[in-house]
Amino acid sequence: MPFRKPDDEGARPTDVTETLVARGTATAAVAVAWDADQAVTALYSANYRSLVRLAAMLVRDAGTAEEVVQDAFVAMHGGWRRLRDPDKALSYLRQSVVNRSRSVLRHRAVVEKYAPKGLPDAPSAEAGAIGELERSAVIDALSGLPARQREALVLRYYADLSEAEIANTMGISRGAVKSHTARGMTALRNVLEQFS
């Protein structure tokens, strides 16, 4: 029987369709007067599992696949009145599931692209405490050195100046910078070895 529009615009449509209902291996044609609730309920009970399997293959997640299929059924129920050929409802559902699965995959790709990157591994509290102890030991050891040796070491290893720049800054020769640096390193090493 042909699809007919309802007489009353505000009333729920009653569509008459020729539907194939599968019973075991035999398929029989049955003329049924369906509204959206009945049609979607019948399609749901007959095709839900196969549509979920289809969506699961596409989105690789069973929970998301179930959501995709349920959304497709909800959309079909809402648009049942606009469906031109109710015999093609299952085709519409399949297409809707595939399109919604594609949307899920596109959304995942965008989320993964703009997801914040993980923070680098932070040192443990113990490492920070040990580092602080070592720094304080070095500072204490530096404070015990003669002034010229301390200045030469600080300018060389903390300010990262060259020998020529240190010589210019301290107002001494490059040879004196080398001498003060070598003596300061030896004294510093001796003090830090006693500390550890």
Q: Are residue 103 and residue 162 in the same domain, yes or no?
A: no
As a three-state string, the secondary structure of the chain is CCCCCCCCCCCCCCEEEEEEEEECCEEEEEEEEECHHHHHHHHHHHHHHHHHHHHHHHHCCHHHHHHHHHHHHHHHHHCHHHCCCHHHHHHHHHHHHHHHHHHHHHHHHHHHHHCCCCCCCCCCHHHHHHHHHHHHHHHHHHHCCCHHHHHHHHHHHHCCCCHHHHHHHHCCCHHHHHHHHHHHHHHHHHHHHHHC
Residue whose pair of structure tokens reads 């497709």 in the numeric block: 72
Q: What's the predicted TM-score (pTM) here?
A: 0.46
CB 149 within 8 A of CB 184: yes
Q: Are residue 138 and residue 73 in the same domain, yes or no?
A: no
Domain assignment present for residue 19? The answer is no
Q: Are residue 83 and residue 53 in the same domain, yes or no?
A: yes
Q: Are residue 143 and residue 90 in the same domain, yes or no?
A: no
What pLDDT was estimated at residue 1? Answer: 40
CATH of the domain at 149: 1.10.10.10
How many domains does the chain divide into? 2
Domain assignment present for residue 9? The answer is no
**CA distance linking residue 94 with residue 47, whole number of Å:** 10
Domain assignment present for residue 7? The answer is no
Domain assignment present for residue 163? The answer is yes
**CA distance linking residue 155 with residue 172, whole number of Å:** 13
Segment among 17-21, 66-70, 165-169, 180-184 with least mean pLDDT: 17-21
pLDDT tens digits, one per residue of 98-142: 999 999 999 999 999 998 887 777 777 787 777 787 888 888 888
Domain assignment present for residue 126? The answer is no
CB 15 within 8 A of CB 33: yes
Q: Are residue 102 and residue 161 in the same domain, yes or no?
A: no
The parent domain of residue 94 ranges over 35-114
Q: Are residue 143 and residue 99 in the same domain, yes or no?
A: no
- The answer, yes or no, to whether residue 16 has pLDDT greater than 80, is no
What pLDDT was estimated at residue 86? Answer: 84
Q: Are residue 106 and residue 39 in the same domain, yes or no?
A: yes
Domain assignment present for residue 156? The answer is yes
Domain assignment present for residue 127? The answer is no
